[in-house]
Amino acid sequence: MSTKKEKSTALATRKRTNLHEARKANLEDATFEDRSGRFWTQRIKPKNAALLSETLGRCYFVIKNHGPNGVMLIANQGDLMDLPSGAVRATYAHGTIRVENRGKHPVLIEFDFLPIHVIK
């Protein structure tokens, strides 16, 4: 009886370890090593898009592309531009912000929203 329980426990541990190693390998992709860890991050699959905001108030938006290929930044009432690999862009934004990955590889982007302080 204890042998059956030991085998079951060993199998469950092996499955957890394999799953953990697979997740760790995905997170430690060589193209994403230089993350700062201070901003929001989003991984975007190839030929896919990420909707970062839909009803955003007026702010400055900062984005950095950590992927191997460029992405397209589409900021409503802001920029519409290609952001090459390793590039950083700060822009005014209001409303919808979307980032499209048109490449063949997944990309990781870091971004942050900075409020506009109005002094009266």
Share of the chain above pLDDT 90, in %: 39
Say whether both 62 and 108 belong to one domain. yes
C-alpha distances out from residue 58 to 13, 38, 92, 113, Å = 49, 22, 7, 10
Give the structural domain span for 18: 1-33
Share of the chain above pLDDT 70, in %: 68
What is the helix (H) or strand (E) element at residue 94, kind and residue range? strand 88-101
Report pLDDT digits (tens) over 77-114.
Answer: 777 889 999 999 998 888 899 999 999 999 999 999 98
User: Residue 50 pairs with which residues in a beta bridge?
Assistant: 99
Say whether both 39 and 1 belong to one domain. no
Domain annotation covers residue 74? yes
Read off the CATH number of the domain in which 89 is found.
Answer: 2.60.120.10
pTM above 0.85, yes or no: no
Say whether both 29 and 40 belong to one domain. no
Domain annotation covers residue 120? no
Q: What are phi and psi of 112, to 5 degrees?
A: -150, 150
